[in-house]
Amino acid sequence: MMRRVLVVLLAVGMLVGLSFTGFVAPEKVKIGALYSFTGALGPWGKALTDASQLAVNQVNAAGGVFGRQVELVVRDTATSPDVGRDAAKKLVEIDKVPAIIGPVSSGVGLAASSVTIPAQVVLISPCNTSPALTTLDDNDYYFRTVISDAMQGLVQARLALLLNYGTVSVIYVNNAYGKGIAEIFKGYFESYGGKVLAMVPYEENKPSYRGEVEKAMAGNPDAIVVESYVVDGNKQIVEAAEAGYTGKFLMPDGMKSEKIAPGPACLSAEEGGPLEGAYGTVPSTPAGAIRTQFDADFEALHGGPSVIAFYPQAYDAAAVVALAAARAAAQGEKITGTTIRDNLRAVANPPGEVVTYNEFAKAFDLLKQGKEINYEGVSGPVDFDEVGDMVRGTVEIWGIQGCQIKTIMLVPVEKVRK
C-alpha cells in the first residue's frame, strides 16, 4: 500500500513538474536604455524612460514578441561620455541586451557607440542630433529616431532672420552636439546676411559662466544664441541679465525643459525675467489624433505632461526595436543585435501595411502571416536612410509667453541629400 501511494505521488509530482517546467515562460527580450538622470541633462531622464516604458508595456499587452515579454533595462549616463561608456558596457556585458535606446547627449552617444559597435549591439537614439553622427563608421549599428541638427540649425537661422536679428553671438556647449548646431546655425545665418559677432564655447558643469557671457555680450548683439543644456544655459542667461544685457535669447532643443519656465531665468507670469519673449527650436512631432492619444497615455504613466524634447521619439525607438525583433523571430531567426539591425528598415520604411501608435497586435499578426509592415510613429514617419538617419521630420518653434513654454508653429523638414 505504501509503495502504491509513493508511486502515485511520484506520478503526480512529475505531472505537476511538467506543468511548470514543460511550459516555462519564454526568456524575456531585454532592451537597454541609456538616459540622463543626473548631470546637465538630468531633468530629461524620467520622461524619456516613461515614454520608452509605455511602448514596452503596450508590446507586452499585445502578447509580447511572439510570447516573449519585453523588459526595459535602464542605466544612467550622468550626461557624461565616460559614465555613458561604462553604462553601455554594463548593458552589453552584464545585461546582455541586443539593442540600446539612447543616450540623450550626442557626445555620450559617440562614447557609447565605441562599445556597442564592436559588440554588434544596435544603438538607437531618440535624442542625438549632432550632424557628426551621420558619418559615424558604425557598420550600420547606429540609428536615430530624431532628425539631425542639420535641419534644426536651418530652421533656427531662418527664425533669427524672421525676428530681425541682424547680429548675434553664440554660446555653445563644447561637444559634438553644441559644435554641430552652432556651426550649422552660423553657416545659414551668415548666408542670409546676418552677422555672428562671437562664437563662444563652454565646458559643462561650471559654477559660473561670467567670462563666456562677457565675450558673448561684446558688441551688444541683437540676440545671444544659447546652444546649451538647460542647467548650464539657465546660469548663462541669468548672468547675462545680471551683467546688463537687454537683448533677446534664441535657444535649441537642449534648453526646452520644465527647468526653464518657470525657472531661474523666468520666475513667474508677473515677473517674467530675461527669458520672457525668447524663442527656441526643437525637433518635434506633427499634431493630430495619434499625438493626442499618445499624450494621454504618456501622462497617465508619467503623472502629468512634460515639455522636454524627444519623449515621442523615445517611444518610437522602443517600438521599432520591438517590431524588428518580432520580424526576426517570425522568420525563425534568433533575436540578436545583428538581426534587429537587419530588420529595422524593413519594419519602419515603406513598402508594407501601415501600422501606427499602439497597433502592436496588428503588426505581430501581419508579421506572423509573412506580410511586411511600415511603422508610422508618434513623431511622424520613422523612415531610416542608408546611414540610419531620419529622412524627414518636424521642427517646432516655441516661445516663452507669460513665463510658460508655448508652441508657436510646426515646420516640416526633410534631409538634404548631397
> Could you tell me if 124 and 369 are in contact, meaning their C-beta atoms sit under 8 angstroms apart?
no
Cell 501595411 maps to which residue?
353
> Could you tell me if 252 and 260 are in contact, meaning their C-beta atoms sit under 8 angstroms apart?
no
What is the tens place of the pLDDT at every residue in 312-329?
999 999 999 999 999 999
Grid cell for residue 126? 531618440
What is the tens place of the pLDDT at every residue in 100-111?
999 999 999 999
**Weakest-pLDDT range from 79-93, 272-286, 380-394:** 272-286
> Could you tell me if 208 and 237 are in contact, meaning their C-beta atoms sit under 8 angstroms apart?
no
Grid cell for residue 378? 508618434
**Weakest-pLDDT range from 4-18, 221-235, 299-313:** 4-18
Pairing of strands 167-173, 142-144: unpaired
Q: Report the share of the chain in percent with pLDDT over 70.
A: 93
pLDDT of 7 reads 42
> Could you tell me if 253 and 129 are in contact, meaning their C-beta atoms sit under 8 angstroms apart?
yes
What would the mean pLDDT of 173-202 be, rounded to a whole number? 96
DSSP state of 263: B
Nearest to 225 by CA among 257, 207, 202: 202
Q: In terms of DSSP H, where are the helices of 1-44?
A: 2-21
pLDDT of 223 higher than 70: yes
- The model's pTM is 0.86
The CATH number that domain 29-146+310-384 falls under is: 3.40.50.2300
What is the number of other CB atoms lying within 10 angstroms of the CB of residue 72? 17
DSSP state of 31: E
| β-sheet with 353-355: strand ranges across | 353-355, 373-377, 380-381
What is the number of other CB atoms lying within 10 angstroms of the CB of residue 193? 8
Q: Is the dihedral of CA 55, 58, 60, 64 positive or negative?
A: negative
Crossing angle between the packed helical segments 106-116 and 81-93, to the nearest 10 degrees: 30
The domain spans of the chain are 29-146+310-384, 150-283+394-414
**Weakest-pLDDT range from 11-15, 52-56, 90-94, 193-197:** 11-15
Domains 29-146+310-384 and 150-283+394-414 share a fold: yes
Following DSSP, what letter does each residue of 138-179 receive, concatenated? -TT-EEESS--HHHHHHHHHHHHHHTT--EEEEEEESSHHHH
Cell 527669458 maps to which residue?
275
In whole angstroms, what is the distance from residue 61 CA to residue 56 CA?
9
**Weakest-pLDDT range from 72-76, 100-104, 287-291, 333-337:** 287-291
Residues 6+ apart with CB under 8 A from 418: none
Instruction: Report residue 418's pLDDT band, with 50, 70 and 90 as the boundaries.
Output: low
Q: How far is C-alpha 331 from the chain's CA centre?
A: 29
What would the mean pLDDT of 275-287 be, rounded to a whole number? 91
Residues 6+ apart with CB under 8 A from 289: none
Cell 559614465 maps to which residue?
83
SS3 of residue 231 by DSSP = helix
What is the tens place of the pLDDT at every residue in 61-94?
999 999 999 999 999 999 999 999 999 999 999 9
Following DSSP, what letter does each residue of 63-86 receive, concatenated? TTBTTBPEEEEEEE-TT-HHHHHH
Following DSSP, what letter does each residue of 364-390 receive, concatenated? HHHHHTT--EEEEETTEE--B-TTS-B
pLDDT of 25 reads 62
Which position has the higher pLDDT, 219 or 272? 219
103 cis-preceded (ω within 30 degrees of 0): yes
pLDDT of 16 higher than 70: no
pLDDT of 17 reads 41
pLDDT of 257 reads 82
pLDDT of 11 reads 44
In whole angstroms, what is the distance from residue 320 CA to residue 154 CA?
28
Which position has the higher pLDDT, 182 or 285? 182
What would the mean pLDDT of 351-357 be, rounded to a whole number? 97
pLDDT of 147 reads 94
**CB-side neighbour CA atoms (13 Å) of 410:** 11
Instruction: Report residue 8's pLDDT band, with 50, 70 and 90 as the boundaries.
Output: very low
112: which strand partners?
A: none
In whole angstroms, what is the distance from residue 157 CA to residue 66 CA?
47
Domain 150-283+394-414 annotated CATH 1.10.1740.10: no
pLDDT of 150 higher than 50: yes
What would the mean pLDDT of 184-200 be, rounded to a whole number? 97
Crossing angle between the packed helical segments 360-368 and 45-61, to the nearest 10 degrees: 50
Residues 6+ apart with CB under 8 A from 25: 69
pLDDT of 40 reads 87
Question: Element (H or E) spanning 354, and its range?
Answer: strand 353-355
